[in-house]
Structure formats: C-alpha cells, structure tokens
Amino acid sequence: MEYSILKFLHVLGAVIMGAGLIGVWLADLRSRQHRDLIRFSEAVRYINVFYDGIVVPGALILLFSGTWFTYKYFGGWNFIETPWLSGMIFLFLFEFIEGNTITRLYFVKLRKITQRALDKGEITEELEEERGKFLPSFTHYLDIPMLFLIIFLGVVKPENWDSFIYGSALAISLALFFTLYIPRLYPWGKKVS
C-alpha cells in the first residue's frame, strides 16, 4: 500500500508541476505578444501565480515522494548505480535549483520592474532590458523539455546513460531554439513600434 501511495504522489507531483510549467510557458508567450503595459502586466502576474501556486507545490510533492521512494525502494545512495534513476534525480535537482534561482527569481524581478513601469504609465528602458535577457529565457525554455526527459527516464528506465545524454542534448537544443526563435517572433528588449 505504501508503494502505491508513493507512486500516486509522485505521478500527482509530476502532473501538477507539468501543468504549472505549461501555464508559465503560455503566460510568458502571451506576455511577449503584448506591448500594452496593462495586458503585459497581467500576463507577468499569471507567470508568478503559476510558478508559486502550481509549479512549486508540484515540485515539493515530487521532492518528498522521490526522496522517500529512493530511500525505501532503491537503497538510498545506491541509486547512483542505476542510470535512469541517477539521471532523473540529477535532472530534478538541477531543475529545482535552477528553477528557484535563475528562472523564478527572474520572473519575480520582472513583476517588480513591471509594477514600476505601471506606476510611471509606460514601458521603461529597465523593463525593455530585463525582458531581453538571454539566460533567464533559456532556463525558462529548458524547464518543459527537461521535465519530459525526467518522465521518459522514469517510464522507459534505460539501463545505460545514452538516453540521458542524448535526451539532455535534445532538451538543451530545444531550449536554445525557443530562446532564439520566440524573441524574434515577438520582439522585446529593443524599441518596437
């Protein structure tokens, strides 16, 4: 029974976190489509609501259930000998740390800068510069491909590191593509009429 409950919690955490990441992705895309400050600010607010209200709780459920799973059913630190599980844990920890430092903090800062722009009644140069930053956009676009890779590793359970390596390369390539393509589709970070 304990195994089934942990498995349910783990799947639930992945679903909640995935739904939140997709919500963040769509709200970010929507924010890039607007030069109207009110609409932009609403989209930015939704990004923060999705992160804080859905992604973080889902990640915490995954952290709890995954840690208990690893301790109880995979021999604790013995997970290092299992490529698919090691890959899942490494990618989750990387995304957890990156998501709560670079990406999430960027969106919190973006919300504050947007509020200052709202107070002035115009899109400010500070907002233009912040919106055009490369690294936070890249890490943001890396979230969903990495989640898909984590899920793939957990479902397929490959016995070697090939899937981890090729999947990571594919996830990084997709994130780089979106980081370069989306800003060209919806330009920010420069004056656009």
Q: What percent of the chain lies above the pLDDT cut of 70?
A: 97
Tens of pLDDT, residue by residue over 158-172, are 999 999 999 999 999
What is the rounded distance in angstroms from the CA atom of residue 164 to the CA atom of residue 181?
Answer: 25
Alpha helix segments (H runs only) across the chain: 2-32, 37-50, 56-73, 83-98, 104-120, 125-131, 134-156, 162-185
Tens of pLDDT, residue by residue over 120-159, are 999 999 998 998 899 999 999 999 999 999 999 999 999 9
Tens of pLDDT, residue by residue over 23-37, are 999 999 999 888 899
Greatest CA span in the chain, whole angstroms?
A: 60
Tens of pLDDT, residue by residue over 62-90, are 999 999 999 999 999 999 999 999 999 99
Given a cut of 70, is residue 96 above it in pLDDT? yes
Given a cut of 70, is residue 18 above it in pLDDT? yes
Comparing C-alpha atoms, which of 110, 137, 134, 90 is closest to residue 41? 110
Residue 34 CA: distances (Å) to CA of 41, 160, 186:
9, 45, 8
Tens of pLDDT, residue by residue over 38-61, are 999 999 999 999 999 999 999 999
Print burial letters for 43-67: b (CB count within 10 Å at least 16), e (below 16). bbebbbebbeebbbebbebbeebbe
Handedness of CA 144, 89, 159, 4 (dihedral sign): negative
The residue extents of the domains of the chain are 2-185
Comparing C-alpha atoms, which of 51, 40, 53 is closest to residue 122? 40
Given a cut of 70, is residue 189 above it in pLDDT? no
Identify the pLDDT of residue 193: 45
What is the rounded distance in angstroms from the CA atom of residue 75 to the CA atom of residue 57?
Answer: 26
Given a cut of 80, is residue 190 above it in pLDDT? no
Given a cut of 90, is residue 114 above it in pLDDT? yes
Handedness of CA 40, 41, 42, 43 (dihedral sign): positive
Q: Which residue has the higher pLDDT, 23 or 191?
A: 23
Mean per-residue pLDDT of the chain: 93
